Amino acid sequence: MHRLLPFAIVFLLAACVTAGPPLGAGFRFSTYGAPQGRAPEYWLSVGERMAGNFDAAVPQTIWIVGSLFGNGTYLNFPCETDLPDIICGYADMNEAYLDSFDASGMQVWLQVEAGNADMLELIDLVLERYGQHPSVIGFGVDVEWYQSPQGALGVPVTDELAHAWVQAVRRHNPDYRLFLKHWDSAWMPPTYREGIVFINDSQQFEDLEALLADFTAWGVHFAPAPVGYQFGYPADRPWWNGLDNPPAAIGQAILAAVPNTESLFWVDFTIDQVFPELP
């Protein structure tokens, strides 16, 4: 058995949480972490299988369209910009997948790893390109790579920056939200919460109990704001590999401990092991 929060703390945390969107459950996708050459049907099946582990969950993905490149970011679609830290791709690597996600009901967060690239320009380029897709629900920033091209730490996001980014995202669609991702809550805006989901991507845990302690502290810190989690990293495989249905076991434990959880994502680095191609 694994120790969760004392009942009184769980009860108080749950009391702070108001009803919000349905749970999103799915996967993180990147061109450098995911298995290559998989058709949209494979990723649809991963989203559906992940969501199927949780009652009333909706398939959801973090789909990375901007990867760290030099001091800035490489966008994997054609675009036009005069800013030197944004490199535009020659071919669109996302449209066919988003078309399939539109038809299936998958929800999509479009994420970037900015480096030194201007975030407002990135928001506009990404959402002008893909904002017509009904599957898109918002824009995500991996803060570990914000103003930090030389190492995964990033620059803390101020309340003022967070507000500006939320407003920029909402100019494309008032229903869009922003997610901010890091492993340390000190890198998140100190007080600004409106329109943001806070995603924790911590790893290198000794066991499930250690993961829950870290993830629970994250949920308590941001409550009643919604939070999400990435898990399934190779560094944690020694312990999660022994679980029956690791995505379900970890996700259900998180939901029991953190009532303001809104999203659960298995990472692409190990996705073949837990979500193999269907025959």
Q: What is the CATH number of the domain that holds 46?
A: 3.20.20
* 234 assigned to some structural domain: yes
* 273 assigned to some structural domain: no
Report phi then psi at 243, rounded to 5: -85, 150
Task: Identify whether the C-beta of residue 95 lies closer than 8 Å to the C-beta of residue 140.
Answer: no
Distance from C-alpha of 216 to C-alpha of 211, rounded to nearest angstrom: 8
Average pLDDT rounded to a whole number, residues 100-124? 97
What's the chain's average pLDDT?
93
| pLDDT at residue 7 in the model | 39
| pLDDT at residue 17 in the model | 52
Distance from C-alpha of 100 to C-alpha of 104, rounded to nearest angstrom: 6
Task: Identify whether the C-beta of residue 83 lies closer than 8 Å to the C-beta of residue 74.
Answer: no
* 2 assigned to some structural domain: no
Distance from C-alpha of 212 to C-alpha of 203, rounded to nearest angstrom: 11
| pLDDT at residue 4 in the model | 39
| pLDDT at residue 221 in the model | 98
The yes-or-no verdict on residue 279 having pLDDT over 90 is no
| pLDDT at residue 11 in the model | 42
The yes-or-no verdict on residue 116 having pLDDT over 90 is yes
Report phi then psi at 180, rounded to 5: -120, 135
* 265 assigned to some structural domain: no
* 106 assigned to some structural domain: yes
pLDDT > 70 in the chain, percent: 92
| pLDDT at residue 12 in the model | 47
Domain range holding 207? Answer: 7-258
The yes-or-no verdict on residue 151 having pLDDT over 80 is no
Distance from C-alpha of 54 to C-alpha of 251, rounded to nearest angstrom: 8
Average pLDDT rounded to a whole number, residues 132-152? 91
pLDDT digits (tens, 9 = 90+) for 9-66: 444 454 455 567 899 999 999 999 999 999 999 999 999 999 999 999 999 999 999 9
Distance from C-alpha of 227 to C-alpha of 229, rounded to nearest angstrom: 7
pLDDT digits (tens, 9 = 90+) for 153-202: 899 999 999 999 999 999 999 999 999 999 999 999 999 999 999 999 99
Tokens 């970011």 belong to 73
pTM, entire model:
0.92
| pLDDT at residue 1 in the model | 29
Work out the pLDDT band at 152, boundaries 50, 70, 90: confident
Domain tally for the chain?
Answer: 1
* 29 assigned to some structural domain: yes
* 115 assigned to some structural domain: yes
| pLDDT at residue 10 in the model | 45
Residue predicted with more confidence, 3 or 243: 243
Distance from C-alpha of 224 to C-alpha of 128, rounded to nearest angstrom: 31
* 252 assigned to some structural domain: yes
pLDDT > 90 in the chain, percent: 89
